Structure 1
């Protein structure tokens, strides 16, 4: 079912954002009040991460490695997508950007688009470029988080926290452009709708037209993208103790396809770095809507109930040319196999949390009891180019036009459908034993129901942590956590174990870390050592006809489980204020990752898992109105194929920026200029050798923002 309220939602949002607001300060004892009165230059350090413990618990009391990236930093960087936000955490590495989506890994484990991302704690289907203009901060939760969120990978999760309504009226207007002619216009407004300030709103509108630097091989035209975004969040104080929040966002995002570059056996880019092998008429068109509500009831000063629901509708048309790699595309040409595909994803999520603080047996407890639920549906239609003579393949010669094929939309097509439901119950207690010691214990039970193979999966996910605070400003912690990811059944009729279910993959982590707040708590220093093992990896072995397991050639393969993937390493980070005028956010990771599967992957390193990576972004205030920025990103050598025969060189990318704020007619107006990839370094980003993302060359960006 496609949402019918998208146009209405945008119209209401536009009207609300344009309304004048005249109000006085409300007196509300229990409901959290948020004021936005302008930005300060001390927003690099964030003290809490709501996703880490499903509540606003101080990071110093969180026995887990967590990095919070505030919007103040990414606004300075003129970030336009999630990839440009996550470069601020070296434990996150980029994968492919194929099909107008972005793939990431945390601690070397790839995040699944179905369970690796959260919006305000709700599981989010993220098979598209996430809008970031609506975000207040991005939280990178490292290590297994299944105890709180259910099925997910062992590397961690990305929780995106959206902007909240404000009591006082605000209006920010922004515009930015770059050296390729891309433009983005933004409106961010908030305030109260009544004198008592019991009804508040926050709205965002974005129009973006992106012109990419890479060009199609057929006509030398640049890849382009057209995006609209509307966001509205309303808060209603139903009483002094009861808060209702209703959120809606709608994204319309159409872009040409760039599946990435091709590498030869030496890891060199085939052809020019700017060449796009996809056809100029290929595109993806995404329509995404989210509608949700959260209800918070403060039962007393120490007890609270919070419940929420979110419904996500994601429709995509992907008209793909699907270029096929050849070793010499310039003399022999290369082939495309066009198809037109329609995808329909529907996510319905719900949760209920009961939290409380109490004393028992001389110890303080912060208790969480909760449950969450996911109803997932996916449907797909696909129509392929059919030509009996070429078997659906068209030969392409670079520099010559690629004719758009006629597809037979009238022939019968079969709709593929998949759906499942899962729910989980969790219990967590953070116990303060005394001033030096805290203990965290939690457990979760999950069940997934699905028709067909893999119909039922059950899991118990524990988590334990101990925090020791040798000083008021520092802590040392250890934790043990576990993740699980259900696996599909074996459907290949030529496999010995066909029509059987696979067990879930389990990730087990041991982590030791430390956190310190220095300079009057203005600088946060962190470090962590981790050891993660992913168990129950499927291993498929090809069989010869003479192998007795093939039953005289009846079967050609056998799939079993028992393989492992081990990732060990350490991280360090710094975030906050170094002096009166100097601010920094920085991190570094060392990673030793390898397969222990007993097949061709044995001893190999996963794709896009560098041994070393690091980043830094700083701000120095020259005057009260003028500031300068400097940034650097280092990514070590990575493998581009499973066999580890093709590698991508390490690189360092430098960025700089400057901002000037002036008063025009009593309003703050900021001008910003940034240069990304200052020294025009040639580098390769994420993706395998057949769809690698080519690092962008030097690019200039300028922006203006006015605050009312």
Structure 2
């Protein structure tokens, strides 16, 4: 089938299939070129080469197209594919005895091309990544296709407009983390990948219990999305289910409703593929990590209209922190049904059970200088044995897409999530860094602690969306329009309380981090409150990307949201219960214009807004929503699909920030601003070099506050940078790659008062990966490396805690594809 772009009326050259065989497209000699999909009678009668039969090859280094044609001649097989697959690519050739399958693996290794063999016919295909755009807009037939993601470059995003638009056509800052990058960096947590995105920094995640980051100086807790649906409850996204990650910087309320002005993270999960693929993987490290992963996908029938995928993972690991174990298991089956050429149905279920240690870090209170912060405590546990968050998540996700006509596509989706959670956490406040015993105080290192948590908590959420995508030509202009309605309801009920100490009291005993004595909190958690929170959100929006000419693109969007929250807290001790009922609404909008100076260089500017409700609480004056607004100016470009880059300046402001004043009233007097410059580069060169580089300058301030006006936001580094490089030694040692990364976090304000700064630190990662092609399509991949090679101890803070970076860690992964 011939496909055209899913995005606009003009076909993208990269998505077209050549009507001629590969050698004719590239002007090669020595083979008769046939139309793709055509097999002549004589060829069909030739007995297929045995997959295991060895053939002597002596093919010199040269352009990949020439090497492929020489291989086809020597192996007496027919090879076809898109003409653009091999453009600009070199091959080390092939020397020695190989079977046909082994030889193909060798000459295509690292090229971004894979082969599908049927007898004497081989079809070359791009290593495309299947994402969420399975239907064609602007063409009647449905085609299960994906974005041309290759290496570290991913040219399209769904997060900025709720429909797939090329990154170079979006007048916003959007970064994409590809599947190849996730594999090369050995990412097992979402935050580890985000540290390579400019303007994103860590926040306290309770010891990896949940996701928490700072984007452009603003906390983005609760701003993680899964396939465009909000992750409402705590817990880790299993990275084995993730295909790619998209980070939309700045206000995103037009796209997703309630949001922090810093930005959002949208995780795109893996979908079933027609081509059969099976893999298993083992991950180990020196501290006792033990994780097993499996991923199986393919078609259930010969027509390929019913596809399945099964992803499973199991972990039972020790960690670098004292008596902190991780136990987790995930099973995620999914089904994709091409009901007709106009209708596609995706169904997914995910079960996840996890037990993760909770670590609150050290409280910031009482530190007067950086030298007072205790060092070499990355492995220390300031809590108690049994400080664990245990949760079970059950998710059901269904999406139906239907092509109404050549220009309209409808999409309906529904996600249900149920979580059962229990937590037990011991944290301290305050901490005493210096000895005050002479004044009747505490010894240095003393931490006054308490144990608290939810013995039980149940949460449920329903999220639904109805979208209509249009691709319309008006005169010489092209318009991509998405109109949508979102609705969600969520309820969380739980029991919260504190634990008794070993002497059966609710006192707060002192714990010394230099001479720890554990077991002070031995009792069960005594319930202090019974909570019930209900939230309903509904929104309607329209977003348009208008191609006014080949060089001028305009994006406009507007959204209206309504939110209703009800909160109830009942106290078993007979205290008066707490009730709150808050009904808020808001309108958000964005506008942007992009001009292509040359095809590889565009200039853009945009304005966007966001909001977050200041939910009802006692003593709040004029309960208005927190509002965000941003101006953004940048340049971006795509050079031959090999180099994606952007340079961005932004000016971001958040107003109506709630502040508790000395008279115990809460007033909307706060204002926070952030201005900065971000540079992002992803580069794939000749399938040998792959590179991702970033730099961020961030100036985050409390611009209006009764106590903190003019102060810097704690934990936000004015300067941060990251670089990751992969080099394939395919010309000398086929299958071997060398990988290396470096991350720099500059000094940052320690606390709100800006008493002092934390010190800058740099971490370096190094690894080697070897992929051994085996008979058939089988392959064995081994990756071994060291994270934080120099064992740098990075100390970082957010608004309330002191945290330590992970120590040097040696790891090894082994994967088998069959």
TM-score for both structures, normalised by structure 1: 0.87
Deviation string for 1:357-400 (max 9, x for gaps)? 11225422111111101112121202323579854323445343
3-state DSSP of counterpart to 2:278: strand
Q: How many residues align?
A: 652
Which residue matches 2:583? 456
Compare 305-314 and 193-202 and name the one that shifted more.
Answer: 193-202
Residue in structure 2 matching 1:81, options 189, 197, 202? 189
- 1:453 deviation in Å? 4.2
Contact 1:569 1:589 in 2 (8 A): yes
Residue in 1 that maps onto 2:627: 506
**Residue 224 of structure 1: how far off its partner (Å):** 1.1
Q: Is 2:779 aligned against 1:668?
A: yes
Kept in 1, the 8 Å contact 2:417–2:461? The answer is yes
More divergent stretch after superposition (429-438 vs 586-595): 429-438
The residue aligned with 1:302 is: 407
Structure 1 equivalent of residue 806 of structure 2: 696
Contact 1:97 1:687 in 2 (8 A): no
- Higher mean alpha-carbon deviation, 381-390 vs 445-454, is at 381-390
CA contact under 8 A between 2:198 and 2:680: conserved in structure 1? no
Distance 1:524 1:201, change over 3 A: same
Q: Paired residue for 2:81?
A: none
Asked if the contact 1:371–1:424 (Cα under 8 Å) also holds between the matched residues in 2, the reply is: yes
Q: Which moved more, 1:395-404 or 1:454-463?
A: 395-404
2-structure distance, mates of 1:303, 1:706: 42
1: CA distance, partners of 2:153 / 2:794: 31
**2:171 aligns to what SS in structure 1?**
coil
What does residue 8 of structure 1 align with? none
1:501–1:345 distance in 2 versus 1, CA, 3 Å: farther
Of 736, 742, 751, which aligns to 1:641? Answer: 751
Q: What's 1:585 paired with?
A: 692
Matches within 5 A, 1:257-268: 257-261=358-362, 264-268=367-371
For 1:189-213, what per-residue CA distance to the aligned partner results, in whole angstroms no more than 9, with x for missing partners? Answer: 1011122221111121011123221
Q: Does 1:365 align with 2:479?
A: yes
Q: Which of 55, 62, 65 does residue 173 from structure 2 map onto?
A: 65
Paired residue secondary structure (1:72): helix
Separation of aligned partners in 1, 2:628 and 2:144: 39
Counterpart position of 2:111: none
- Structure 2 contact 669–705 (Cα < 8 Å) conserved: no
Q: Structure 2 unaligned runs (5+)?
A: 1-117, 124-133, 434-441, 567-578
- Unaligned 5+ segments in structure 1 are 1-21, 216-221, 492-497, 543-555
Aligned counterparts of 2:375 and 2:694: Cα–Cα separation in 1: 35
Q: 1:332 to 1:370 in 2, by over 3 A?
A: closer
- Give the superposition deviation at 1:615: 0.6
Q: Distance in 2 between matches of 1:477 and 1:35?
A: 26
Counterpart CA distance in 2 for 1:105 and 1:203 is: 33
Cα gap change, 1:454 to 1:589, in 2 (>3 Å): farther
Which position in structure 1 is the counterpart of 2:54? none
Displacement of 1:334: 3.5
SS of equivalent to 1:83: helix
Residue 764 of structure 2: aligned partner: 654
Using the TM superposition, give the Cα deviation of residue 704 of structure 1 relative to its aligned residue in structure 2, in angstroms. 0.7
Shift in alpha-carbon separation, 1:200–1:35, aligned structure 2, 3 A:
farther
Contact 2:338–2:345 under 8 Å retained in 1: yes
2:519 to 402, 411, 420: 402
Cα distance change of structure 1 residues 691 and 473 upon mapping to structure 2, 3 Å threshold: same
Question: Are the equivalent residues in 2 in contact too, given 1:489–1:500 (CA < 8 A)?
Answer: no
Name the residue aligned to 2:715.
608
Residues 1:49 and 2:153 are matched in the alignment = no
2:253 corresponds to 1:146: yes
Between the aligned partners of 1:558 and 1:334, the Cα distance in structure 2 is: 30
Give a deviation string over 1:557-593, Cα, whole Å, max 9, x none. 3332243111001111111214552110111111111
Label 1:129 to 1:330 Cα distance change in 2 as closer, same or farther (>3 A).
farther
Aligned to 2:211, the other structure's residue is in SS state coil
Structure 2 Cα separation of the partners of residues 575 and 326 of structure 1: 43
Equivalent residues in 2 for 1:428-447, closer than 5 Å: 428-447=543-562
Please tell me whether residue 335 in structure 1 is matched to residue 448 in structure 2.
yes
State the Cα distance separating 1:64 from its structure 2 match: 0.6
Contact 2:174 2:246 in 1 (8 A): yes
Q: Is the 8 A contact 2:274 2:298 kept in 1?
A: yes
Moved more, 74-83 or 41-50: 41-50
Match of 1:177 in 2: 284
Aligned CA RMSD, in angstroms, stands at: 2.5
1:565 to 667, 672, 676: 672
Counterparts of 1:90-105 in structure 2 under 5 Å?
90-98=198-206, 100-105=209-214
Contact preservation (8 Å) 2:363, 2:431? no
Q: Are residues 418 and 507 of structure 1, via their aligned partners in 2, closer, same or farther at CA, if it must alter by over 3 Å?
A: same
The reply to whether residue 679 of structure 1 matches residue 785 of structure 2 is: no
CA distance in 2, matches of 1:702, 1:636: 30
Q: Deviation per CA, 1:668-699: give whole Å up to 9, x if none.
A: 111111111111112124545x6322111211
The equivalences for 1:105-254 within 5 A come to 105-113=214-222, 116-215=223-322, 222-254=323-355
Q: CA deviation at 1:104?
A: 0.1
State the match for 1:321 in structure 2. Answer: 426
Q: Which whole-Å deviations, capped at 9, do the CAs of 1:328-383 have from their partners, x for residues lacking one?
A: 57668543322341222222111111011112254221111111011121212023
How many angstroms does 1:126 deviate by? 4.7
Name the SS for the 1:60 alignment partner.
Answer: helix
Q: Which stretch of the first structure deviates more once superposed, 382-391 or 506-515?
A: 382-391
SS state at 1:180 partner: coil
8 Å contact kept, 1:35–1:166: no
Q: Which residue of 1 aligns with 2:646?
A: 526
1:495 paired residue number: none
Once the 2 structures are TM-superposed, how far is the Cα of residue 32 of structure 1 from its aligned partner?
3.3
1:384 matched to which residue of 2?
Answer: 498
User: Deviation digits for residues 306-337 of structure 1, max 9, x if unmatched?
Assistant: 11010111221112233344315766854332
Closer/same/farther in 2, CA of residues 408 and 200 from structure 1, 3 Å limit: closer
Partner of 1:112, secondary structure, is: coil
Q: Counterparts of 1:92 and 1:108 in 2: how far apart (Å)?
A: 8
Length-normalised TM-score, structure 2: 0.76
Separation of aligned partners in 2, 1:697 and 1:261: 18
Query: Any conservation in 1 of the 2:586–2:611 contact (CA below 8 Å)?
Result: yes
Structure 1 position 477 matched with structure 2 position 625: no
Does structure 2 conserve the Cα–Cα contact (< 8 Å) formed by 1:261 and 1:275? no
Q: Secondary structure at the match of 1:338?
A: strand
